[in-house]
Structures are given as structure tokens and as C-alpha cells.
């Protein structure tokens, strides 16, 4: 195993509601390394409606973190990205270079309000696709509209979107709603990516190993590695999935 890629992480210091400072980033990266993560696409939140960290600031912060890792004695490759809160102007902002795609590819990590209407989510995916971007829907298990009518999950994919589930959602109990949804997506071969959505060293830490083990048991090696290794590598390389 060459290590996992985490394509949804708020690990950069003081850029959003994730790691508050460099010490916290170090602790989160140590956890990630111990969990077998070797590549992270850092995805600070981007909100069109309020101030977000600029691409230039993200680039500078990544360089600083990578320099610090040389001193810390372990190394995880960090790529640039954003978790984009969708608004109608997002495609134009992407075109203007105001928002980071994932690792410089055409893939973008997009989130919506959990209570958004399906028509709004669908139209957002279609608009991004029309501009040549490939939307990955962040923590897809959260969207009520997709589970009111579960066939909409496949429609998202038919419209050019991909589905990302948070690793922690698979670890919920038997009656946990997010866990039930995550397992439904997995069982119906709809799962494209798992990300940690890490914000801290506590409940929202960059844990991947238990979920990876679960996917290997339930799906077998070939399907699990496609989700955990092959698909994220394709994003970094800008290749098709």
C-alpha cells in the first residue's frame, strides 16, 4: 500500500475553521501520517459571500507547512484546493482564478446547504460541468434532497458529478443516520471518494484507517483501492476516473 490520499481536509493553519495555528497543523499531520495518509489536498472553505483565504495565501501557507515537516521528521505531500460553498457565481470565479481547483486539475470540491433543494444542487452540477469543471460533491451523505429520493444519487453522477463521503460517517452506530446513508452509497456502488474533512485533533481528526479497513472487508481489495487510492490519484494527475 502506497498510502492514502485525503482530498478533503482543513489542515492548513489559520485559514478557516480548521487548524487554528501551526502547532495544531503539526498535530493533525502527525495523526494523518499514523493513519497511513501520504497525500493531502488541503481544502479551506471558500464562500463567495464573505472573505476567504486567497490562492496566494494558501500557496504561501503550504510552502511553510512543507518546510516545517522537514524539521518534524515526517512528510506528507500537500496540494492546493478549496471546499467551495456553491453559489451561481462560482463558475465565473473559478474561471477568474479566484478559487482553487483540486491540485490544479479540473476537479472541484463543492458543498451545498444540507437542506438545499434538489433542483438547485442539480443545476449547480450542470453549470460547473458546462464550464468544463468536474464537481465532487463534498460529504454527500448530508443532503436531505438526495435521500428523499435515493435515485437522485445516481442522477448526480449521470450529470457529471462524483460523490465523496466523510470517513467518520462510516464509523457511526447502527442507528446513526449518516452511517446508514454512507453504507447505502457504498452498497449501491455509488461511492467515488472518502475524505476525512478533518478540522481538528479531536472528533473531526484526520482518521482514515478504520474506514479503509471497513471498505476492504465489505468491498474487496479492487473496489476499495479504486475509492481510496486510484480515484484520488486520478484527481491529482488530472485524469478521468
Convert the pLDDT of each residue in 114-153 to its tens digit.
999 999 999 999 999 999 999 999 999 999 999 999 999 9
What does the pLDDT read at residue 39?
97
CB-based burial of residue 87 (10 Å sphere; 0-12 exposed, 13-18 middle, 19+ buried)? middle
What does the pLDDT read at residue 173?
80
Using alpha carbons, select from 146, 149, 62, 135 the residue that is nearest to residue 94. 135
Cβ–Cβ < 8 Å for 39, 6: yes
- How far separated are the first and last CA of the chain, in Å rounded? 20
Location of C-alpha cell 457504498: 186
Q: Across the 241 residues of the chain, what is the mean pLDDT of every consecutive 10-residue run?
A: 90 97 98 97 94 95 96 96 98 97 98 98 98 98 98 98 98 90 98 98 95 97 96 97 92
Cell triple for residue 13?
493553519
pTM metric for this prediction: 0.96
What are residue 54's DSSP bridge partners? none
- Pure H helices in the chain: 22-34, 55-72, 90-95, 118-130, 144-148, 151-158, 177-187, 209-219, 221-225, 231-237
Using alpha carbons, select from 154, 213, 144 the residue that is nearest to residue 181. 144
Using alpha carbons, select from 15, 109, 34, 121 the residue that is nearest to residue 73. 34
What does the pLDDT read at residue 1?
46
Q: How far apart are CA 148 and CA 150, in angstroms?
A: 6
Amino acid at each position: 500500500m502506497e498510502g492514502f490520499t485525503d482530498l478533503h481536509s482543513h489542515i492548513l493553519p489559520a485559514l478557516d475553521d480548521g487548524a487554528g495555528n501551526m502547532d495544531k497543523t503539526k498535530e493533525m499531520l502527525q495523526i494523518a501520517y499514523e493513519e497511513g495518509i501520504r497525500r493531502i489536498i488541503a481544502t479551506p472553505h471558500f464562500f463567495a459571500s464573505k472573505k476567504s483565504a486567497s490562492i496566494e495565501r494558501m500557496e504561501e501557507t503550504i510552502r511553510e507547512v512543507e518546510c516545517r515537516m522537514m524539521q518534524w521528521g515526517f512528510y506528507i505531500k500537500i496540494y492546493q484546493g478549496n471546499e467551495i460553498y456553491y453559489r451561481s457565481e462560482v463558475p465565473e470565479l473559478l474561471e477568474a482564478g479566484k478559487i482553487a481547483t483540486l491540485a490544479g486539475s479540473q476537479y472541484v470540491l463543492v458543498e451545498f446547504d444540507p437542506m438545499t433543494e434538489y433542483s438547485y444542487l442539480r443545476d449547480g452540477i450542470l453549470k460547473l460541468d458546462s464550464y468544463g469543471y468536474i464537481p465532487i460533491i463534498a460529504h454527500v451523505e448530508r443532503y436531505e434532497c438526495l435521500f428523499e429520493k435515493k435515485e437522485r444519487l445516481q442522477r448526480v453522477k449521470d450529470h457529471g458529478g462524483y460523490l465523496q463521503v466523510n470517513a467518520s460517517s462510516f464509523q457511526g452506530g447502527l442507528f446513526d443516520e449518516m452511517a446508514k446513508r454512507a453504507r447505502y452509497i457504498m452498497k449501491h456502488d455509488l461511492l467515488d471518494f472518502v475524505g476525512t474533512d478533518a478540522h481538528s485533533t479531536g472528533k473531526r481528526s484526520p482518521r482514515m484507517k478504520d474506514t479503509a479497513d471497513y471498505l476492504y472487508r465489505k468491498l474487496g481489495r479492487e473496489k476499495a483501492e479504486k475509492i481510496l487510492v486510484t480515484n484520488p490519484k486520478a484527481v491529482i494527475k488530472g485524469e478521468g476516473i
